[in-house]
């Protein structure tokens, strides 16, 4: 989009010709730590007159209180519900008026707050983020309101939805042993209803200080401008002690875990097959990313070709890395293959097929052409995920939070390129074992007898219904 900077003229043309040969994409990444411990990351890009902002707090579902499942996520909602200075409504009103969009999400190891807007709104965004880092409007009405909203979120995504998120909620509950890793991060309604304003105050005090956060800005500004604005709006927020986290590490599983669930809403069976992954930062991490993509990354992947095509057992094959990606986690995380399978098939056939494909990789490795294709695609996809300024800012903030170094973003393509067939073999042999595997077979529950004709697919009657 530099074409716009250059006044929409012919200069852009020559610039584009010189860039043609290279597929490399290095991001400018500047970091600076304020005296209060807030780490600031700026990635300059003047190709569009906008910014992406991400504030990542180093707390997620693992560290929520024991009798408060779902609290980290409920708390995330409350971060949008006003402060003593900017009451409920101001936050969204200002960002909307600034032409921006905002959102937040809660994951096992972090909680992020993201905005993107025309650069004219940048200072307003930073003011709003700093304001809610200081304190919140601890208000019973907004707490009740968001308890209701979160319950509707859980209904629409879990309780009223076929499969109900079993490929990330239930599978983690079954595969992990420690409470931090195996409780329901969406939370029980009872725990959500029991959440009190004191809980909210304590969580904000303990985990939402500047020293437990990273501020990342990508877009139409310079690092010097970004650092100065960070100092201006965040510099006076005092650091707050953060509780020492518990030890939630756990090793690979040593015995296979298999479960069957009945799903009253689903009409097509599904399976989630999960393995505990290499730890963040281990030498096995990049090979795991390559192996994951080799197995289930798109239509050329081994399992798509082997299960959807080939054996024709499944309708689709998807890969999940917890609720994040191969690079953005800290504690124990699962690589999950999630698939809807045909009623004429069964989970044993799926697992046998997966075992056969993994065994081939363990035995033979990956041929050079396939490995090159997978790596090319993985690197391209990695770039694609950072095209949007907002996604770039967010990734840099997360990497700074989890790895302590946002510049990891520029190292990952090289790590992928460096993966060898032997690396892939080793990782398949070590992690994708039967012992380390957890499987949930999710079957449509038998229909109650007096209901509609059991054999009739719902398609026809529903289609006829609406007139």
Report how far residue 374's alpha carbon sits from residue 417's, in angstroms, rounded to the nearest whole number: 10
Report how far residue 39's alpha carbon sits from residue 14's, in angstroms, rounded to the nearest whole number: 38
Piece of the chain touching another protein by CB under 8 A; list 140-148, 245-253, 254-262, 282-290: 140-148
Q: Which two tokens stand for residue 138?
A: 């601890």
Neighbouring C-beta atoms of residue 41, cutoff 10 Å:
30
The mark string for 396-425 relative to another protein (x by CB under 8 A, - otherwise) is ------------------------------
Helical packing angle, 421-431 and 368-384, nearest 10°: 80
By the rule CB under 8 A, 162 interacts with another protein = yes
Report how far residue 190's alpha carbon sits from residue 121's, in angstroms, rounded to the nearest whole number: 40
Report how far apart, in Å, the C-alpha atoms of 334 and of each of 107, 130, 439 are.
13, 34, 12
Q: How far is the CB of 256 from another protein (least distance, A)?
A: 27
Complex with another protein: residue 205 or 372, whichever CB lies closer: 372
| Contact pick of 57, 80, 110, 248 for another protein (by CB under 8 A) | 80
By the rule CB under 8 A, 455 interacts with another protein = no
Among positions 32-61, residues that touch another protein (CB under 8 A) are 45, 47-50
Q: How far is the CB of 400 from another protein (least distance, A)?
A: 21
* CB-CB contact of 331 with 108 (8 Å): yes
By the rule CB under 8 A, 461 interacts with another protein = yes
By the rule CB under 8 A, 23 interacts with another protein = yes
Query: β-pairing, 111-118 with 50-57?
Result: antiparallel
Complex with another protein: residue 253 or 397, whichever CB lies closer: 397
| Contact pick of 213, 334, 374, 424 for another protein (by CB under 8 A) | 374
Q: In what order do the strands lie in the sheet with 318-321?
A: 257-263, 437-444, 270-276, 334-340, 318-321
- Strand extents, DSSP E, 79-211: 101-106, 111-118
Report how far residue 30's alpha carbon sits from residue 311's, in angstroms, rounded to the nearest whole number: 50
Among positions 286-325, residues that touch another protein (CB under 8 A) are 298-300, 304-305, 308-309, 312, 315, 323
By the rule CB under 8 A, 173 interacts with another protein = no
Q: How far is the CB of 155 from another protein (least distance, A)?
A: 5
The mark string for 108-127 relative to another protein (x by CB under 8 A, - otherwise) is --------xxxxxxxxx--x
The three-state DSSP-derived secondary structure of 210-246 is: HHHEEEEEEECCCHHHHHHHHHHHHCCCCCCCCCCCC
Give the total of residues touching another protein (CB under 8 A): 125
By the rule CB under 8 A, 17 interacts with another protein = yes
State the residue for tokens 């399992």.
Answer: 303
Q: How far is the CB of 129 from another protein (least distance, A)?
A: 12
Complex with another protein: residue 290 or 433, whichever CB lies closer: 290
Residue 274 β-bridge partners: 336, 438
Among positions 375-394, residues that touch another protein (CB under 8 A) are 376-377, 379-380, 383-384, 386-390
Piece of the chain touching another protein by CB under 8 A; list 33-41, 99-107, 280-288, 327-335: 99-107
């Amino acid at each position: 989009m530099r074409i716009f900077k250059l006044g929409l003229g012919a200069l852009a043309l020559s610039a584009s010709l010189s860039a043609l040969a290279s597929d490399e994409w290095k991001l400018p990444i500047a970091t600076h730590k304020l005296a209060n411990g807030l780490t600031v990351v700026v990635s300059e890009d003047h190709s569009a007159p906008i910014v992406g902002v991400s504030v990542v707090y180093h707390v997620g579902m693992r560290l929520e209180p024991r009798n408060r499942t779902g609290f980290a996520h409920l708390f995330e909602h409350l971060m949008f519900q006003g402060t003593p200075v900017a009451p409920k409504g101001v936050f969204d009103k200002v960002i909307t008026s600034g032409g921006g969009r905002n959102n937040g999400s809660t994951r096992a190891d972090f909680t992020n707050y993201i905005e993107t807007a025309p650069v004219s709104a940048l200072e307003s965004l930073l003011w709003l983020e700093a304001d809610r880092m200081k304190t919140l409007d601890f208000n019973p009405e907004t707490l009740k309101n968001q308890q209701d909203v979160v319950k509707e979120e859980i209904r629409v995504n879990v309780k009223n939805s076929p499969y109900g998120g079993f490929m990330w909620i239930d599978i983690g509950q079954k595969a992990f042993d420690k409470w931090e890793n195996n409780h329901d991060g969406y939370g029980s309604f009872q725990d959500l209803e029991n959440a009190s304003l004191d809980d909210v105050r304590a969580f904000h005090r303990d985990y939402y200080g500047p020293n437990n956060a990273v501020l990342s800005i990508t877009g139409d500004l310079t690092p010097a401008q970004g650092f100065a604005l960070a100092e201006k709006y965040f510099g006076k927020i005092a650091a707050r002690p953060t509780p020492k986290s518990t030890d939630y590490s756990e090793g690979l599983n040593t015995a296979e875990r298999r479960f069957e669930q009945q799903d009253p809403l689903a009409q097509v069976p599904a399976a989630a097959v999960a393995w505990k992954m290499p730890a963040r930062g281990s030498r096995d991490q990049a090979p795991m990313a390559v192996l994951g993509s080799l197995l289930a990354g798109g239509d050329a992947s081994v399992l798509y070709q082997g299960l959807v095509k080939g054996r024709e057992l499944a309708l689709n094959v998807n890969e999940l890395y917890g609720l994040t990606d191969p690079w953005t986690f800290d504690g124990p995380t699962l690589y999950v293959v999630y698939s809807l399978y045909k009623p004429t098939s069964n989970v044993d056939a799926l697992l046998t097929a997966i075992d056969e494909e993994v065994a081939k990789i363990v035995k033979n490795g990956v041929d050079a052409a396939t490995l090159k294709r997978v790596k090319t695609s993985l690197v391209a996809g990695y770039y694609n995920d950072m095209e949007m300024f907002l996604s770039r800012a967010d990734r840099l903030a997360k990497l700074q939070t989890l790895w302590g170094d946002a510049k990891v973003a520029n190292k990952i393509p090289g790590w992928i390129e460096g993966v060898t067939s032997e690396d892939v073999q080793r990782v398949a042999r070590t992690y994708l074992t039967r012992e380390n595997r957890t499987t949930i077979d999710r079957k449509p529950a038998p229909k109650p007898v007096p209901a509609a004709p059991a054999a009739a697919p719902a398609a026809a009657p529903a289609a006829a219904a609406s007139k």
